[in-house]
Chain A
Amino acid sequence: MSEQTLITVKDLSVSFDGTPAVKNISFTVQAGKVLALVGESGSGKSVTARSLLGLSGGTVTASTLDICGHDARSLSDRAWQKIRGNTLSLILQDALMALDPLRPVGREINDGLKEHTALKSAERKQRVLEVLKSVRMPEPDVRAKQRSTELSGGMRQRALIAQALVGNPQVVIADEATTALDSQLTALVLSQLRALKQQGRGILMISHDLAQVAHLADDIAVMRHGEFVESGPTQQILEHPQHDYTRKLLRAVPSSVPRFTALSDLGAEETTSPARKIQDSEQHSPALSVKDLSKSFGKHLAVSSVSFELPRGKTLGIVGESGSGKTTTARMVLGLEKPDSGTVELLGERFAPSTASQRQNLREQMGAIYQNPLGSFDPRYTVGQLLTDALSRGKSKRASEYRKPVTQLLEQVELSADLLARNPRELSGGQRQRLAIARALAPEPSVLVLDEPVSALDVSIQATVLDLLDRIQLETGTSYLFISHDLSVIEHMSDTVAVMHQGKLIEHGDTASIFGSPQREYTQKLLSAMPRLR
């Protein structure tokens, strides 16, 4: 059965002001099939996608650039406008920003129709509602009048997909369409894409995560520094990768990787019985003991009667969707929110940091790592100043007596001492997170609360950070409260797991049991949506 080739690309090169971003790549997109372009940030995959729409912003050359019969190498602006949205369309990553927050989503979708059809206003309205129904938007007529900021995450995603479909395109380009979405939304997007595939459209998926594309893609092309490192059918790439880089990407996926097995080259040594500083955790009181925590915001019950324990030197993973209450729980544990009821015990002592005398000492035992570390840094401080401030308990920013401990901290997180004078803004995402870890470790805490620490990182960078966290735990015996929506990360990093849904702790147990034989229906549902590589 010969598939119809929709897009043929040969020797595509894109450069910006003389600097090449994409070098001589070739691929095809076929009807009813999915091609995935996988690579890290800066690999040129997004540039490639955009040049298919003529929106790369750079100089594009190719020996063949055939888009559904149009020779796209020499299209005028006008001609491009006719193709865009019509023959091929784009689904971007962030639904909140990809839809104009000042306009109702119905209008955004309507625009596509205005461009490409001669339908009258009433007919267009009808079409908008139809396409919203096709993406299963609840109450489409109400939602069409709302703006993206007024819609929930799921509805926004659907609106985003709808606006790409309204022109009935033959090819759909999904640029990081599932990155940074929780599992529910990811499953939603993937199922929509699957439906599109079955309708006979061609799909180009851009992603940094092999696990996401593994089930949907027919072919995978791995990109690095603007070139294809390897390409071929999915099965072949996943099971018999030829290139080192491909192997590195595969190795970085935490899905089904056992605890303490390295995901990257910087990883901890593989040990079957890791030596930990704290011996018998049963002898001492648990690192954290949380009983019946509850919190309401107005009428909304965010957290309801949550209890768990974190044994010393171990990791408890809390997993849930957005809105499940996991972040609020973390904030109560950290003492940033006052619980309506319930207690938090740190190392056997009541953790109620409102008593000023206890505050400094108690708090030092517990550190926090956020999803976006930049927001937690004072924008005026350099790397060195941040760490000095942390070590000196806020008394000093730039004392030379702290030089040595600062350098030691940097070593611990594998950051070069060259970075001391830089502002965190200039660092990459991975480096910033390492800096955040270094700062959190400065007071030598017993517990680290990590709220989505790797969700904003590329899979390969994520792997290095996770390995770092493992190594630190092995060296120092710090206990981790690890919060994430990403099930494969939780599975890899946790000794015990707690599943949260709508404020309640649904299921709690050791990792193997939860992931192997989930008891509750919600957990089962959650696990079934998890993209597995192996």
Chain B
Amino acid sequence: MNTLAWAGRKVGGALVVLWLVASAIFIAIQLIPGDPAEAIMGGPGSQASAQALAAARAEYALDQPVITQYLLYLGKLATFDFGTSYSLKQPVTQVMGEVLPNTLWLSLMALAAAWLLALCFSALAMRAGRIGSQVGNLLEIIAAAVPHFWLGAVLIMLFSSALGWLPAVDNGTGHGLVLPILTLALPLAGFLTQLMRDSLSEAMGSQFALAARARGESRLKLFWRHGLRHATLPALSLTGWAFSSLLSGAVVVEAIFARPGLGRSLLSAVLARDIPMVTGIALFSALVYIVVMAISEGIERMINPAGESR
């Protein structure tokens, strides 16, 4: 399939997914018992003022039939109007705009760190003997199984309280980022390493690796020219999922390290049953996933044009 057709297909699919998520939220809202205006403004039995409720009714056209509400809802989303956050009394888009960059930045850096760590570990694992290999295997499994919230606490204990090298709370300098990024990156690195190691050893033991060595290539060049591509392929296809799980982890990490970001806003929105906020964040994370997936699929196609169709 040529690139244009593929891109078109991706965009179409993206729109469908976003529409599905938006519709699911809409249905969920309808299912909340009681006054819909209250539901939007903090859930049944909320403390919203009569004024706020009236404003909500007008904004969401709650007196109209459901279909009209639905279309209105979709229309607003399409123009990026997510409404006003009940708990923060600001337009959702504004709130998100303030905190998004933090979380995105954190996640991106964690993703990069995880990939780097995974590549290094895989390369190291290549040279390890049988025992080293088993140990490495176990370490990877442990790393992947460690929950963020615990890892964060451990890292704080170690590097902050005990050794005093790194601050536990962001103090404005870059140092404050190291621990949160590590906390996010390590479990993912463990997972990615397992993936990469399998593919890497498969590639290095294959016929074309033998042929390459028969041409005079050194092991290192073999890794660079051949092994790397094969190792990263399966990891690439999971990048979309990995990134969204990073976003997920960011929620926890921001809580532990007291950092402002999407995670914190989401948590307080959830506790306050602030539906517009929640809608905005849900759609945003879906969008992020789609974009990351598309990019990684694009890279995959470049590396492996003969890829299998799903």
Please give the residue numbers on chain A whose beta carbons come within 8 Å of chain B beta carbons, in ascending order.
50, 53, 55, 77-78, 81-86, 89-90, 92-94, 97-103, 108, 111-112, 115-116, 147, 149-150, 163-164, 167
Contact = CB atoms under 8 A, between A and B. Distances in A.
A90 B218 contact: no
B215 A85 contact: yes
A101 B213 contact: no
Interface stretch (B51-59, B88-96, B133-141, B299-307): B299-307
B216 A103 contact: no
Interface string B206-222: 11101111111110000
A97 B218 contact: no
A83 B212 CA distance: 13
Contact of B213 (A55, A116, A164): A55
A92 B207 contact: yes
A84 B305 CA distance: 30
B215 A99 contact: no
Nearest to B209: A100
A111 B212 CA distance: 8
Interface string B276-310: 00000000000000000000000000011110000
**Considering residues A111, A149, A163, which has the most beta carbons from chain B within 10 angstroms of its beta carbon?**
A111
A89 B226 contact: no
A99 B217 contact: no
Nearest to B228: A102
Given A98-B207, A100-B208, A86 B216 contact: yes
Given A83-B216, A85-B214, A149 B207 contact: no
Contacts of B215: 84-85, 89, 111-112, 115, 163, 167
16 contacts: A77-B218, A84-B213, A84-B216, A90-B210, A92-B207, A93-B207, A99-B211, A100-B212, A100-B229, A101-B306, A102-B229, A102-B233, A103-B226, A115-B217, A147-B306, A163-B215
B265 to A, nearest CB: 43
A172 B7 CA distance: 47
Given A102-B303, A103-B226, A97 B214 contact: no
B216 A90 contact: no
Nearest to B206: A97
A77 B218 CA distance: 8
B175 interface: no
A163 B214 CA distance: 10
A112 B212 CA distance: 8
Contact of A94 (B207, B218, B230): B207
Q: How large is the interface on B (under 10, 10 to 19, 20 to 34, 35 or more residues)?
A: 20 to 34
Nearest to A104: B305
Contacts of A149: 306
Contacts of B214: 53, 55, 84-85, 89-90, 164
Contacts of B233: 102
Contacts of B76: none
A53 B216 CA distance: 9
Query: At the interface, is chain B mostly helix, strand, loop or mixed?
Result: helix
A316 to B, nearest CB: 36
Interface of B: 206-208, 210-218, 225-226, 229-230, 233, 303-306
Contacts of B305: 147
A163 B304 CA distance: 21
Nearest to B233: A102
**Considering residues B211, B218, B304, which has the most beta carbons from chain A within 10 angstroms of its beta carbon?**
B211
A98 B207 CA distance: 5
A111 B229 CA distance: 16
Nearest to B226: A100
Contacts of A84: 213-216
B111 to A, nearest CB: 23
A82 B306 CA distance: 33
A92 B217 contact: no
Given A86-B216, A89-B215, 14 more contacts: A81-B216, A85-B214, A90-B211, A97-B206, A97-B207, A98-B207, A98-B208, A99-B208, A102-B229, A102-B230, A102-B303, A111-B217, A147-B306, A149-B306
Nearest to A90: B214
A379 to B, nearest CB: 19
A384 to B, nearest CB: 33
Nearest to A53: B214
Contacts of A86: 216
Contacts of A112: 215-216
B309 to A, nearest CB: 14
Contacts of A102: 226, 229-230, 233, 303-304
Contacts of A101: 208, 304, 306
Nearest to B225: A111
A53 B210 CA distance: 10
Contacts of A115: 215-217
Contacts of B206: 97
A422 B198 CA distance: 28
Contacts of B212: 100, 108, 111
A111 B233 CA distance: 22
Nearest to B213: A55
A82 B225 CA distance: 18
Contacts of B211: 90, 92, 98-99, 108, 163
B297 to A, nearest CB: 16
Contact of A92 (B210, B218, B303): B210
A150 B208 CA distance: 16
B214 to A, nearest CB: 4
Contacts of B230: 102
Nearest to B303: A102
Contacts of A53: 213-214
A467 to B, nearest CB: 32
A1 B45 CA distance: 107
Contacts of A111: 212, 215, 217, 225
**Considering residues B225, B229, B303, which has the most beta carbons from chain A within 10 angstroms of its beta carbon?**
B225
A96 to B, nearest CB: 9
Contacts of B213: 53, 55, 84
B229 A81 contact: no
A116 B216 contact: yes
Contacts of A99: 208, 211
A427 B206 CA distance: 23
Contacts of A167: 215-216
